[in-house]
Amino acid sequence: MNSSSPLPDSPETCRVCVTAAPAWLVVLDNAPTLTLFVLGGLLLGHLSWLLAAGYWAYCGLAVVLFWRRICTHCHHYGQASCRCGYGVLAARFFARRSAGNFRRVFRRNIGIMFPCWFVPPLGAVYLLWTEYTRGLLYGTLAFCGIGFVLIPLISKLVGCKHCDLKEECPWMKPTVKATESPAKP
Ligand code: SF4
C-alpha cells in the first residue's frame, strides 16, 4: 500500500489486519520495553524507592492510556496483526474509536510515554554527578542503549519493517505531513 492510497474503512477489509503477527515478534517488541521499565525503576531506586514505585506505577498507567488513547484509533485495534499485542489488549478494555485520524491522534498522545523514557536518565545524571559508581554508569548506559537505540532499531528493522501501513505511520515516517490514516506505535 503506498502513502497516497486510501486505507480501508474497517479491519475486515484491510489486507494488513488479517495477517497475525508471530508470537516471537510480539515478545521481541515487548521484552526490551519491559526491561527498560525495570531498569529505569532500579536506577531511580538509588534516589528513592518511593520514586521508583511511582515510576513503575506511571509506566503501567502510560501503557493503559496508550491502549485507550492511541490503539483504539488504529486499524490494528482488536487484531492479532498488531506487532505489539497491544491491539488485542486494547480491545479487551476499551471501545473502538474513529480509525480515520490516527496520525493526528498519535502525535497528540505519544507524549504519555515520554516520562517513561526521560525521567530515569535525568535521575541517573543527578546520581552520577553526586555519587558516581561504575554500576550506576553501566546501568545508565544500558538504559539509554535499550531505550534510544535498541527499541527504535527493533521497530525499524524488524517489528514495523514489513507493516504495509508504515508509510502512513508517524512512528516510522515522522516527517510525512498529516493525512487521515492509521498505523503502528
Ligand atoms: S499497531 Fe500500535 S497503535 Fe496500533 S494497535 Fe498495535 S500498538 Fe496500538
Ligand 1 atom nearest the C-alpha of 86 is 7
Q: Domain map of the chain by residue range?
A: 11-168
Residue nearest to atom 5 of ligand 1 (CA): 87
Give the model's pLDDT for residue 98.
77
> According to the model, what pLDDT value does residue 18 have?
60
Cα–ligand 1 centroid distance for 53 (angstroms): 27
Residue 16 has pLDDT above 80, yes or no: no
- Which tens digits make up the pLDDT trace of 98-125? 766 788 888 899 999 999 999 999 999 9
41: left (phi over 0), alpha (psi -120 to 50) or beta: alpha
Q: Is the CB of 86 under 6 A from ligand 1?
A: yes
Higher local confidence (pLDDT), 33 or 82: 33
Rg (CA), the chain: 18
Residue 82 Cβ inside 6 Å of ligand 1? The answer reads yes
Please give the distance, rounded to the nearest whole angstrom, from the Cα atom of residue 75 to the centre of ligand 1.
Answer: 8
- Alpha carbon 104 to its chain centroid, in Å, reads 16
pLDDT at 157: 85
Q: What is the pTM of this model?
A: 0.83
